[in-house]
Amino acid sequence: MNMPSPLVNLEKICFSYTPERGVLHDLSLTVHPGCKTGIIGDNGAGKTTLLHIIMGLKMPTGGKVELFDKTMRGEKDFQSQRTRIGFVFQDAEDQLFCPTVLEDISFGPLNLGLSRDESLERARAVLKRLDLEDLGDRLIHKLSGGQKKLVSLATVLAMHPEMLILDEPTSGLDRTYRERLIQTLQEIDLPHLIVSHDFDFLDRTSREFFLLQDGRLQPGSASLLHSHRHIHPLGEISHEHGDCL
């Protein structure tokens, strides 16, 4: 079978903050077009570090990063490729920095060189697609946490990325917005890489699973995820597995 060239290809990535304590050891990962990949890992396992290395926000101490079939050698290489990946940060507060929602969403398209009108049009189209039309003129600091999360997804979607990377997307989300995020991700249908420790969320959004442990990725499966013993708070109240744990 002739595989199309991968979107992201990491080869033997090493990373450490201090010489004594390495975070990633010879980590390899390939995301092909159409891949919906979920990565699970404990706090401090290096999940966010891994994502930052893909985006070129941190430079690995060893190994090779390839984006869209090009080897990334430095900031210049990343500059031209990273806008093709939509990266949603863990904390929406970090991602949204403009006074109003429309301005924030049009920031990316403007950076891509689109005109004012085209950018605003894109921003409105994305808001409409995510069913957030009424938020356009709102001030960002007055939005709820869930709204901020969806708006930060909108800010990267407006750049028409070829894939999405989401860092702990459900942290701090309530049931309603968590469900909305799942629905949205299913509808968008872009290849993605999601890092989370919300098993059910990953199960419903991703098809391939990895466990990040000891600086390496180990392949897993959805059924494996569910063989974990987990505790439900308020377990005596009947619940479905799509619900928030």
Partner 1 sequence: MPTEQALTGSNRADPRARIVQAILLSVTIAAVNEIQAALLALLIAPAFSLALRVRIRDVLPGLAAANLFIAFLWLAIPFSVPGPVLFKLGFLSASIPGVHLALLITLKANAIMILFLALVCPLPISEITAALAALHVPDKLLNLLAFTFRFIFVLEEERGKLLRAAKNRGFRPKTNLHTYKTYAYIIGMVLIKSWERAEKVQQAMICRGFSGRYPSTREHALKRADVMFSLATIIAAGGIVLLELKGT
List of residues contacting partner 1 (CB under 8 A): 52, 55, 57, 79, 82-83, 85, 87, 89, 91, 93-100, 102-103, 106-108, 110-112, 116, 119-120, 137-141, 155-156, 159
The residue ranges of DSSP E strands in 47-197, in sequence order, are 62-67, 70-71, 85-88, 163-167, 192-196
Other beta carbons within 10 angstroms of residue 19's beta carbon come to 7
Please state the closest distance from residue 169 (CB atom) to partner 1, in A.
14
> How far is 156 from 88, CA to CA, in rounded Å?
7
Q: Pick between residue 34 and residue 99 the one whose CB is nearest to partner 1.
A: 99
Report the alpha-carbon angle 71-12-46, nearest 5: 105
Tokens of 115: 């005109």
Q: Which is nearer to partner 1, 193 or 225 (CB)?
A: 193
Q: Is 25 exposed, middle or buried (0-12, 13-18, 19+ CB in 10 A)?
A: middle
Name the residue nearer to partner 1 (CB basis): 35 or 112. 112
CB of 162 to partner 1, least distance (A): 14
Structure letter (DSSP) for residue 242: T
Closest CB 230 distance from partner 1, rounded Å: 29
Sheet containing 8-16: which strands, arranged edge to edge?
A: 22-31, 8-16, 62-67, 70-71
What's the closest the beta carbon of residue 196 comes to partner 1, in angstroms? 18
Looking at beta carbons only, is 192 or 209 nearer to partner 1?
Answer: 192
In angstroms, the CA 27 to CA 107 distance is: 34
Q: What is the DSSP string of 129-151?
A: HTT-GGGTTSBGGGS-HHHHHHH
- Cα–Cα distance, 2 to 242 (Å, whole number): 36
Least distance to partner 1, CB of residue 220, Å:
28
Query: At its nearest, how many Å lie between partner 1 and the CB of residue 24?
Result: 18
Residue 140 or 211 with smaller CB distance to partner 1? 140
Nearest to 227, CA basis, from 209, 212, 205 = 209
C-beta closer to partner 1: residue 69 or 93: 93
Minimum CB distance to partner 1, residue 120 (Å): 6
- Residue 139 or 224: which CB sits closer to partner 1? 139
